[in-house]
Amino acid sequence: MSADTLPEPFQNFVNAIRGHFADGKKEAELWQCVSKDLKTLLANPSLIQQSKSWPNTKQGDGPPSNLLFYEDPEYGFVFNALVKGPNSVTNVHDHGPSWTLYGVLDGGEHIQRFSRVDDNPVGRGPAKLKLNGEFDVTPGYIDVVPPWEIHQETNGDHRTIGFIVRSQKSGTFKQFRYNLKNGHIATYKGPTQIPFNLA
Ligand SMILES: [Fe+2]
């Protein structure tokens, strides 16, 4: 996928991210820097306006899909969107070894974070989870999700549109879903990727 085909604000965003990689920044610092660049992009009226016509990619407790806008041929990061219909709830899940910047464009939702309090290794159950934080996010908020962080998102009675930057494309790595009741852990290949053009 070539960045040349993207609208200019997204080309600029790609170039900024590539610059952080080229500078040799360590992961945690790099994704904090990208988060600042994303903040500017999220305020772009053209992005907010076009997102209103994007199709829902998740309904209720059904499986999520992602719109896929861009995959960087050099560094592997991607631009996605997750468009939740009203009253959507995700599984309790992690994003495996990937970093995720989840920027809210429209709507809002409640996020709960969990940590494991058992001694089993990553990916092996039974998992005992403890709620270690919850908060509401609104347009303009960017949730920086580090590797293996366990979380769940619950929507309200409205659409919620998230513009997402991932360090690698979903489906190229293993991630997990957690059953709060019985501690079962299931392997998950991530949301289906639907190629989609940015305007
Ligand atoms: Fe997530």
10-residue averages of pLDDT along the chain (199 residues): 91 98 97 97 94 97 97 98 98 98 97 97 96 97 97 96 98 97 96 97
Ligand 1 centroid distance, CA of 39 (Å): 19
pTM over 0.95: yes
Q: pLDDT, tens digit, for every residue of 158-190?
A: 999 999 999 999 999 999 999 999 999 999 999
* CATH code 3.40.50.620 for 3-195: no
Q: pLDDT, tens digit, for every residue of 52-63?
A: 999 999 999 999
DSSP assignment string, 157-186: SS-EEEEEEESS-TTSS-EEEE-TTT--EE
Ligand 1 centroid distance, CA of 82 (Å): 10
Q: What is the largest CA-CA distance in the chain?
A: 48
Ligand 1 centroid distance, CA of 91 (Å): 8
Task: Please report the pLDDT score of residue 2 as a whole number.
Answer: 84
Alpha helices in 52-142 (DSSP H): none
Ligand 1 centroid distance, CA of 3 (Å): 26
Ligand 1 centroid distance, CA of 1 (Å): 24
Q: How far apart are the first and last CA of the chain?
A: 16
Query: What are the sequence ranges of the domains in the chain?
Result: 3-195
